[in-house]
Structure 1
Amino acid sequence: MRRLLFLNGIKAFEAAARTGSFAAAGLELSVSAAAVSRMVHLLEERLGVALFERKANKLVLTQAGRAYQSGLTPIFDALASLTAQVTASSVRVLTIGVGHTFAMRWLIPRLSEFRSEEPDIEVRFTTGGASVPFGEDWSCGIKLGTGDWPGLVAEPLFAGDLTPVCVPRLATSLKRPADLKGPSLIRVEHSPEDWPIWLRAANLTRINARGPEFQFYGQALQAAADGLGIAMGIRPYIDDDLAAGRLVAPFDLSVPKGMRWYLLYRSFQTEQRDFAAFRRWIMRAASEPAARPARRIGRASPRN
């Protein structure tokens, strides 16, 4: 007869060991950091061994903790895979954690292509912005970052390159980057560094973006499309607008943001045929050239 000790505590410990903190584990498990800490402490009492060394602002696994986690994580992954296989036999559902702007400006306009290839797979979206942890029910996620997501496979999709965009009418008065004026530069609240990065690359350190501020890229780009000012565009959000002529990039200067878009998933999911089909499709779609490849900084000097 199997002797299973305190499954909630085991789950809490594995999440804390994998993510590196009680707070991150709490977000993943939808409980408080204090609740995770209590469950791990009870587990340690029942096992009779210490699993963590609790130091200021960080957790350090003991030798026993490392051994326990190295065995537990594959077990939980296998359990998730088995559950997915059982449920997939009756309903083929692919759940994608993706931010609203990425979904609206790139993924949804191309989703009919995937549906035509895989009509039996039901695609569902769930909130998946940069600050949202990877959900247990996600088949995969699409996030902007540096590629460092412990416990997940991160495959690059796009470089997060920056270039200003506006409507053609406004572009006629922009002969060179120095023609930009601070009050016309539309800002994004959660990415205040975008304009300074690009302006430094264009040798325009005296210009400060002071235009209208919006919470998300999608709102800022819509404001630019409505003629409110010049927005900082980021790939791939601007690809379709540039191709259709709704927006133009007045300057031939593209600057790396220092982040990339990644497809995130757990390693065992490569064995699931529905995810494998989506992965093949999105990697192929992401490899298609942008509508207007802008010159990368470093290859030529900007026009001042």
Structure 2
Amino acid sequence: MPPLNAVRAFEAAARRLSFKDAAAELGVTHGAVSRQIRLLEEWLGPPALFRRLSHGVALTMEGRALLADIQPALERIARAASTHGGRPSGTVVLRVNALATFSLRWLVPKLGQLREAHPDIEVELTTGSAPVDGLAGEYDLIIRGGPDAFDGFEARLLLPEWRLPACSPSLLQRQPLDEVGDLARHTLLQVASMPRLWRDWLVKAGHGALEPAATLMLDHFYLSIQAAVDGLGVAMAPSTLIEDDLRAGRLVTPFPQISLPSRGYFAYTPVDSPLRAASERVCTWIEGVPAH
């Protein structure tokens, strides 16, 4: 057997294509990861597993082949160990991969409710945006936009969604929004990945030529939503992800009657997953969470 610490370091570095990121994940120094990789390469013998580049590393053909064999083995070991960690008898560990914004704004705040509803299911959550059939790891439940079709996966609608303007009540007190034209006196919060979102909504609202007082471009929806909560401007927000903020009074929707259609959130479950029954229970629970 090769040294297992070296195997773990290799898997993390190969998955992230970064010794630095692997070190952060494993809680060790960059030098420790380098030493473990070197130890594994010496144990295996040539050829090398990585090509050292000026900015980061790249896997060699042999490194990719080794990763393809090692990754499933480590996942099986972790899965086996997770069933013997003092968890109550019968506990199921469900591996879930979901979009980061959905996880942050919807799923994580409700994990406590899920645990109360299904105490025998323990969610192991990671985030990502890679295509369902392009994920490196094995997952029992993947949450992405849809509907899409992937070979070997069943798709199920979890939550519909639409997009509409949202802002903080304090912003409206300072600068009212009685009609769509009033947006010309506001800052519009933009999402870099969807730069036409505001323009499409304004066209639908009959104000396609409107120019705002200012715009603020942000990387992700969760940043634009937080900026809206903090009173920095008006966000074009996904309806599903602001339910809690609307309920708590942190956000309001000044024009609820005008919205843009959007792809809903879908669950994609591998047809050969041994935990399909547990995935179905979690999906049913998500569908039943009351909306605003």
TM-score range, shorter chain: 0.5 to 0.7
Distance (whole Å) between structure 2 residues aligned to residue 38 and residue 284 of structure 1: 47
Distance (whole Å) between structure 2 residues aligned to residue 44 and residue 17 of structure 1: 13
> What's the C-alpha RMSD, in Å, of the aligned pairs?
4.8
Q: 1:76 to 1:116 in 2, by over 3 A?
A: closer
**In structure 1, which of residues 233, 240, 246 is the aligned counterpart of residue 237 of structure 2?**
233
Distance (whole Å) between structure 2 residues aligned to residue 216 and residue 75 of structure 1: 37
Residue 83 of structure 1 aligns with an amino acid whose one-letter code is A
SS at structure 2 position matched to 1:180: helix
Shift of 1:30: 2.3
Q: 1:59 to 1:11 in 2, by over 3 A?
A: same
Match of 1:78 in 2: 76
Shift of 1:76: 0.8
Conservation of the 8 A alpha-carbon contact between 2:20 and 2:30: yes
Shift of 1:253: 3.0
Match of 2:118 in 1: 118
Match of 1:68 in 2: 66
Conservation of the 8 A alpha-carbon contact between 2:5 and 2:36: yes
**In structure 1, which of residues 145, 150, 156 is the aligned counterpart of residue 136 of structure 2?**
150
Conservation of the 8 A alpha-carbon contact between 1:13 and 1:40: yes
Q: 1:58 to 1:216 in 2, by over 3 A?
A: closer
Shift of 1:33: 3.7
Distance (whole Å) between structure 2 residues aligned to residue 167 and residue 262 of structure 1: 29
1:256-293 Cα distance to aligned partner (Å, 9 max, x none): 6x9x878899x9xx5469xx63x43443354569958x
Distance (whole Å) between structure 1 residues aligned to residue 197 and residue 84 of structure 2: 49
Unaligned runs of 5+ in 2: 145-157, 203-207
SS at structure 2 position matched to 1:206: coil
SS at structure 1 position matched to 2:84: helix
Match of 2:260 in 1: 254
Distance (whole Å) between structure 1 residues aligned to residue 14 and residue 161 of structure 2: 31
Conservation of the 8 A alpha-carbon contact between 2:17 and 2:57: yes
**In structure 2, which of residues 175, 178, 183 is the aligned counterpart of residue 180 of structure 1?**
183
- Correspondence 1:165 to 2:173: no
Unaligned runs of 5+ in 1: 124-137, 293-304
Greater Cα shift, 76-85 or 200-209:
200-209
Distance (whole Å) between structure 2 residues aligned to residue 235 and residue 57 of structure 1: 40
Match of 2:27 in 1: 30
Shift of 1:255: 6.8
Residue 259 of structure 2 aligns with an amino acid whose one-letter code is L
Match of 1:131 in 2: none
- Correspondence 1:139 to 2:152: no
Shift of 1:14: 1.9
Distance (whole Å) between structure 1 residues aligned to residue 210 and residue 35 of structure 2: 51
Distance (whole Å) between structure 2 residues aligned to residue 196 and residue 205 of structure 1: 15
After TM superposition, the score normalised by the length of structure 1 is 0.60
1:78-117 equivalences in 2 (<5 Å): 78-87=76-85, 89-90=87-88, 92=91, 107-108=108-109, 111-112=112-113, 114-115=114-115, 117=117
1:201-255 Cα distance to aligned partner (Å, 9 max, x none): 23457325458x9x9556445446xxx8634423422235557987235161327
Q: 1:289 to 1:7 in 2, by over 3 A?
A: closer
Conservation of the 8 A alpha-carbon contact between 2:19 and 2:56: no
Q: 1:66 to 1:182 in 2, by over 3 A?
A: same
Match of 1:284 in 2: 284
1:163-211 Cα distance to aligned partner (Å, 9 max, x none): 21247895984433x43035454x5xxx753895433323457325458
Residue 163 of structure 1 aligns with an amino acid whose one-letter code is L
Conservation of the 8 A alpha-carbon contact between 2:176 and 2:182: no
**In structure 2, which of residues 198, 212, 217 is the aligned counterpart of residue 207 of structure 1?**
212
Residue 240 of structure 2 aligns with an amino acid whose one-letter code is P
Q: 1:218 to 1:165 in 2, by over 3 A?
A: closer
SS at structure 1 position matched to 2:80: helix
1:34-65 Cα distance to aligned partner (Å, 9 max, x none): 43223212221232222223344353433432
Q: 1:229 to 1:59 in 2, by over 3 A?
A: closer
1:117-143 Cα distance to aligned partner (Å, 9 max, x none): 42455x6xxxxxxxxxxxxxx7123x4
Distance (whole Å) between structure 1 residues aligned to residue 182 and residue 93 of structure 2: 47
